[in-house]
Amino acid sequence: MTKNNVLANCARFGNEAVDGFLDKAERAAMMASAAEKLEELFDVLKIDHRNDHNTRDTPARVAKMFVEEILHGRYVPPPKITEFENAARYDQLIVTGPIELRSTCAHHMMPIYGSAYIGVLPSVDGKIIGLSKYDRIVNYFGTRLQIQEELVKQIEQYIVETTNPRGLAVRISAVHMCKTHRGVRASHASRMVNSTFYGEMATSSALKAEFLQECAALDRR
């Protein structure tokens, strides 16, 4: 695919996957193109990247960081989910966390970091998925420009679509560095906490309470 096609292929929203995803050669073309633009930006900002020993390779380095790390979850498919039979017909709440969350805010492109917790109420005649896959799913959707409200929903939607549970809860507690390192310069202790509930987890206040209690207990360890 040519450089222009790579750009034409982009989805409309900054936190959605591009249509068809990008292979290694397409991502390399995107990196080369981004590095050129970053050189221009450095020139505008009067950063002498051609002569300064520290910033000489920074445009290419930053381009690679965006394509292969910070925005990677838009260009490659989501992680494969390993499924197991729910042979014991297990029907109680499973809670996993804290899962390390690393993402980037859509407004200032500053880091978001914190913890995610996922609660699953499996279907007795459905499947159980490998525990590590929840961490991989959080990593995947974190590598996009995000706001926290959409991040929990994207994680929820993917798990619901792939595993069809009776209920699901996703909770994130995170620091937004756009608030702590600039602008209002809030305390590093200042977090945003939000949750989303699906299916029986959305309708049962007892299940919600059990999930939140398990999150608090996992947070203390």
The footprint of ligand GTP (CB under 6 A) covers: 105, 107, 147-149, 176, 178-179, 183-184
Using CB atoms, what's the residue nearest to ligand GTP? 183
How far apart, in whole angstroms, are the C-alpha atoms of residue 109 and residue 112?
A: 9
- Tokens 């987890």: give the residue: 201
Q: Which is nearer to ligand GTP, 15 or 96 (CB)?
A: 15
**What is d(CA 59, CA 36) in angstroms, rounded to the nearest whole number?**
7
CB of 151 to ligand GTP, least distance (A): 8
DSSP 168: E
Q: Which residues pair with 101 in a beta bridge?
A: 114
Cβ distance to ligand GTP smaller for residue 14 or 183: 183
144, 169, 194, 210: CA torsion to nearest 10: -150
- Supply the minimum distance, in Å, between the C-beta of residue 17 and ligand GTP: 20
Which two structure tokens, joined as six digits, stand for 21? 């995803």
CB of 172 to ligand GTP, least distance (A): 9
Q: Using the minimum distance from each CB to ligand GTP, give the nearer residue, 105 or 168.
A: 105
Closest CB 13 distance from ligand GTP, rounded Å: 15
Cβ nearer to ligand GTP, comparing 43 with 100: 100
- For residues 158, 163, 164 and 169, what is the CA-based torsion angle, rounded to 10 degrees? -60
